[in-house]
Structure 1
Amino acid sequence: MEKAVKADCRNMEEKKKKEGGNESLMGTLPIPLLIIKTSIPLIISLLVNNLYNLVDSIFVSRVNEDALTGISLAAPLQMIMISLGCGLAVGLNALVSKAMGEKKQDEVKKAASAAIVMAFGAYLINAVVCLLIAVPYFRWQAGGNEAIARYGIAYIRICMLFSFGQMIQWVFDRLLIATGKSTLFLATLGTASLVNLILDPILIFGYFGLPAMGTAGAAIATVTGQLAGGLLGIYLNIKRNKEIPIHFTIHISKKHVVNILKVGIPTAIMQGIMSVMGIFINTILYQFSSTVVAIYGILLKVQNIAQICVQGMNNSLIPIIAYNYGAKKEKRIHETIRCAFIYAVIIMAVVLVILELIPDKILLLFDASEQMLQFGIPAVRIMSLSFFVSSIGIIFAAIFQGFGNGNYSMYLAFMRQVILLIPILLAGAFMNNLTVIWFGFVIAEALAIPFGLLLYRKIKKTVFVTAG
């Protein structure tokens, strides 16, 4: 009897140590250090990921400008994939982190199982959307230019019909992030990026006896890299992420599907808005020239690189806030938010100065013609201001998502990217003035900040009360 009691005591102590080990990362590590510790691997991963997307465009620009325009026009359709995967990932991340903060291990397991099945559903949606709209979309957006349409269709068909690797990666990477194992996430995304970087020139230009496949080669390299990263993510979660037991089953909990969708759907809608806006913006820019459309595609790539540090921090903030919300640690939540805004402003101020100094060198990476340099240099300089201001909205979105309130993120995105932006873009198109259009992005982001503050104050009066 005495031995049994001692054994129970030892088991309890071991359990406490395990909980304490997890707690030490999200619940007790000083917030400034915690943000840096969890953000750096994510930033490195995003850097590698976005660099291979950037390299995709650089390689494709060497094919010709029509090919670059084709993949630029593909961006809105790619946003559909991102909207489904990102919505699922954000919902899963918030739900799992909160459950871990509350020490509800069974909830963690059920949420992970639900997300795996939902990822397969997201892939099927991607495939159906591609089969239905890819060809008519490019016939419309290419403005009758058959070469641009051909390049774009070849690229997007492969990316969407073989997007199951990307969906796998979204889910299993987020499970690693939710437990603070960002270095393992670095391994999965790094693997995906490396595979893509190696295959890109081989498949695009046809080395080692392979045929030159152009934009189709870039797409094959991308989906192969995604699949490699996704498979490694599954392995690392099973072997190295024991806090989240992986259970493959089609018998999933309706409650957990609903809870993931509760946070994820607003995020997906938010990303979907960006897809629609991408189509709208490309339509407006095409009236100037296809070169301007290509420039906008380059600007999107530059923005992804410019905001990597803020986006990496954004990804780390969601589980930090969700965990401490579940653990009811209000002071740590407030400190997380304060540090995030300070870091974002400092980082983006440095990025702004750099972009203002080297716009021509950025464009020359894409084999820019004289016409592209003429239109592109002022565009980079003006849009770099937009990148700086939009970082505030990115942090607000992470705060709202961390509390499981995806609706607020959606409202803010709709204000930033639709309500305030559309009238200015239409005015610029009416005046046939590209400068007005580029400045429209800056003005819309700046005017949306007070709305973000309003939502933040509202959440302080509700969610923070329950977190205290």
Structure 2
Amino acid sequence: MDNESIMGTIPIPRLIIKTSIPLIISLLVNNLYNLVDSIFVARVSEEALTGISLAAPLQMIMIALGCGLAVGLNAMVSRSMGEKKREEVKKTTSAAIVMAFGAYLINVIVCLLVVKSYFAWQAGGNEAIARYGTSYIQICMLFSFGQMIQWVFDRLLIATGKSTLFLATLGTASVVNVILDPILIFGYFGFLAMGTAGAAIATVTGQLAGGLLGIYLNIKRNQEIPIHFTLHIQKRHVVNILKVGIPTAIMQGIMSVMGIFINTILYQFSSTAVAIYGILLRCQNLAQIGVQGMNNGLIPIIAYNYGAKKEKRVHETIRYAFIYAVIIMTVILIAFEFIPDRILMLFDASDQMQKLGIPAVRIMSVSFFVSSIGIIFAAIFQGYGNGNYSMYLVFMRQVILLIPILLIGAFMGNITIIWYGFVIAEALSIPYGIWLYRKIKKSTITPMSAPLAEAL
């Protein structure tokens, strides 16, 4: 069985697992090194932890650019492969490489224009927090070319079902980062102790290592996708990538703006509350690794089989995706409910952080569970090439429904209401996701039958 056909031939329950497990392991390693960053930085000081927590919205800008490009590339390449259009695969890949360089330049411009004024505002006059955050994010943004390379070439491996090779690239990036973190943060083996700047250098070095390995593996081991770099790209291939990618980038951009908004509200309570939210974001990334990994695997499966007109396989993919998501997140929810204090102690939590953080972890873990439904919906919409619906759903979950509740919590001076707001917003967005699915069923999937009712 050749690698190009496994998306359309392997039984769906096994294909989802085969595609997802390497991605899940990769995301686990990736998020563990992000978690390790925070754990090490927390031992520098709580101000340092708060600084990199405030940097998270700016990091989301980088993620928005890279993820939007990657998702658009993934969907278009997989569909072209399903339609047996090899030349379209080649031209789409060339366009994505050029676009990755453009995304890097945007990161540099944003860094030079925004970072210092952003921290002067968000740090509330605390010079230590501003210094720690600024030194961290400037390095991450100015040297983000490794990350952009990795986004593109990792997705090419995913598109052909070579998830184990993707595991190698992301694993390499993670291992390099974890090794360098303590050395550069605390100054071991004769290196200068650089604090948050050391954490940033470790991160970008790991990303570059993973990106370079991704280029090598695609050239040597991924013959289904011809790598051809040229500046003479065609407009329609850029448009096709952006058609799916822009909504994804906007979704991430919304998260960035909301991160700034949430940090501003939480800072009214204390800088400790901001640090706790930073911890919660990392916990969420870790908790949803299973679903996010499956999400990344679903997009090429759905796109390939939709392009190949294998309707039954698309239905089955959607059904098993929801089943697997509920099973995974139930296990995660139970774990988080029982060990919130141990999670916080990983970050050298003070008594005040424990007091505020334990109820926050327990409440937000419910939000992690509920939001997994929205994540699967997003993969379904993107797999069909309709990124707009994913954007609409994220806007509903994270803006329209969430902001009023957060404002109520801030007005009442009750931080518990703020934590519950995330749960309520995620739950209320599910009917909207179902409605969007029914719309895409009528306009795109017809005459496909809907498996969603069985899945839920």
8 Å contact kept, 1:386–1:445: yes
Deviation at 1:294, TM superposition (A): 0.1
Once residues 348 and 114 of structure 1 are traced to their aligned partners in structure 2, the CA distance between those partners, rounded to angstroms, is: 37
1:153 aligns with 2:134: yes
Deviation at 1:467, TM superposition (A): 7.3
Partner amino acid for 1:166?
A: Q
Pick from 70, 83, 92 the counterpart of residue 89 of structure 1: 70
Partner amino acid for 1:129?
A: V
Deviation at 1:22, TM superposition (A): 3.5
**When the two structures are superposed, what TM-score results if normalisation uses the length of structure 1?**
0.95
Structure whose alpha-carbon radius of gyration is higher: 1
8 Å contact kept, 2:4–2:224: no
Pick from 179, 190, 197 the counterpart of residue 178 of structure 2: 197
1:206 aligns with 2:187: yes
8 Å contact kept, 2:82–2:304: yes
Once residues 113 and 467 of structure 1 are traced to their aligned partners in structure 2, the CA distance between those partners, rounded to angstroms, is: 34
- Which position in structure 2 is the counterpart of 1:378? 359
8 Å contact kept, 1:97–1:179: yes
8 Å contact kept, 1:306–1:351: yes
- Which position in structure 2 is the counterpart of 1:422? 403
Once residues 161 and 428 of structure 2 are traced to their aligned partners in structure 1, the CA distance between those partners, rounded to angstroms, is: 35
- Which position in structure 1 is the counterpart of 2:345? 364
Deviations 1:24-61 (A, max 9, x none): 41001110000000000000000000000000000000
Once residues 395 and 446 of structure 2 are traced to their aligned partners in structure 1, the CA distance between those partners, rounded to angstroms, is: 27
- Which position in structure 2 is the counterpart of 1:437? 418
8 Å contact kept, 1:329–1:467: no
1:179 aligns with 2:157: no
Once residues 175 and 88 of structure 1 are traced to their aligned partners in structure 2, the CA distance between those partners, rounded to angstroms, is: 12
8 Å contact kept, 1:325–1:467: no
1:43 aligns with 2:24: yes
- Which position in structure 2 is the counterpart of 1:412? 393
Deviations 1:187-219 (A, max 9, x none): 000000000000000000001111100000000
Once residues 86 and 255 of structure 1 are traced to their aligned partners in structure 2, the CA distance between those partners, rounded to angstroms, is: 20
Pick from 31, 37, 47 the counterpart of residue 66 of structure 1: 47
Once residues 41 and 443 of structure 2 are traced to their aligned partners in structure 1, the CA distance between those partners, rounded to angstroms, is: 50
SS of alignment partner, residue 225 of structure 2: coil
Deviations 1:90-138 (A, max 9, x none): 0000000000000000000000000000000000000000000000000
8 Å contact kept, 2:68–2:244: yes
1:144 aligns with 2:121: no
Once residues 119 and 59 of structure 2 are traced to their aligned partners in structure 1, the CA distance between those partners, rounded to angstroms, is: 13
Pick from 205, 221, 224 the counterpart of residue 205 of structure 2: 224
8 Å contact kept, 2:100–2:148: yes
Deviation at 1:380, TM superposition (A): 0.0
**When the two structures are superposed, what TM-score results if normalisation uses the length of structure 2?**
0.98
Once residues 231 and 159 of structure 2 are traced to their aligned partners in structure 1, the CA distance between those partners, rounded to angstroms, is: 23
Once residues 271 and 277 of structure 2 are traced to their aligned partners in structure 1, the CA distance between those partners, rounded to angstroms, is: 10
Once residues 263 and 126 of structure 2 are traced to their aligned partners in structure 1, the CA distance between those partners, rounded to angstroms, is: 14
Query: Equivalences for 1:5-404 in 2 at 5 Å?
Result: 21-22=2-3, 24-404=5-385
Deviation at 1:248, TM superposition (A): 1.1
Output the aligned Cα RMSD.
0.9
8 Å contact kept, 2:65–2:249: yes
- Which position in structure 1 is the counterpart of 2:454? none
Deviation at 1:465, TM superposition (A): 2.6
Deviation at 1:229, TM superposition (A): 0.1
Deviations 1:395-450 (A, max 9, x none): 00000000000000000000000000000000000000011000000000000000
8 Å contact kept, 1:328–1:466: no
Deviation at 1:183, TM superposition (A): 0.2
Once residues 306 and 149 of structure 1 are traced to their aligned partners in structure 2, the CA distance between those partners, rounded to angstroms, is: 29
Once residues 253 and 34 of structure 1 are traced to their aligned partners in structure 2, the CA distance between those partners, rounded to angstroms, is: 33
Partner amino acid for 1:75?
A: A
Once residues 56 and 462 of structure 1 are traced to their aligned partners in structure 2, the CA distance between those partners, rounded to angstroms, is: 45
SS of alignment partner, residue 366 of structure 2: helix
Once residues 364 and 309 of structure 2 are traced to their aligned partners in structure 1, the CA distance between those partners, rounded to angstroms, is: 40
8 Å contact kept, 1:204–1:218: yes
Deviation at 1:463, TM superposition (A): 1.4
Once residues 246 and 346 of structure 1 are traced to their aligned partners in structure 2, the CA distance between those partners, rounded to angstroms, is: 39
8 Å contact kept, 2:302–2:384: yes
Number of aligned residue pairs: 449
Deviation at 1:64, TM superposition (A): 0.3
Deviations 1:236-270 (A, max 9, x none): 00000000000011111111000000000000001
8 Å contact kept, 2:4–2:81: no
SS of alignment partner, residue 211 of structure 1: coil
Once residues 203 and 273 of structure 2 are traced to their aligned partners in structure 1, the CA distance between those partners, rounded to angstroms, is: 25
8 Å contact kept, 1:328–1:467: no
Q: Percent identity?
A: 84
- Which position in structure 2 is the counterpart of 1:9? none
Once residues 72 and 385 of structure 1 are traced to their aligned partners in structure 2, the CA distance between those partners, rounded to angstroms, is: 22
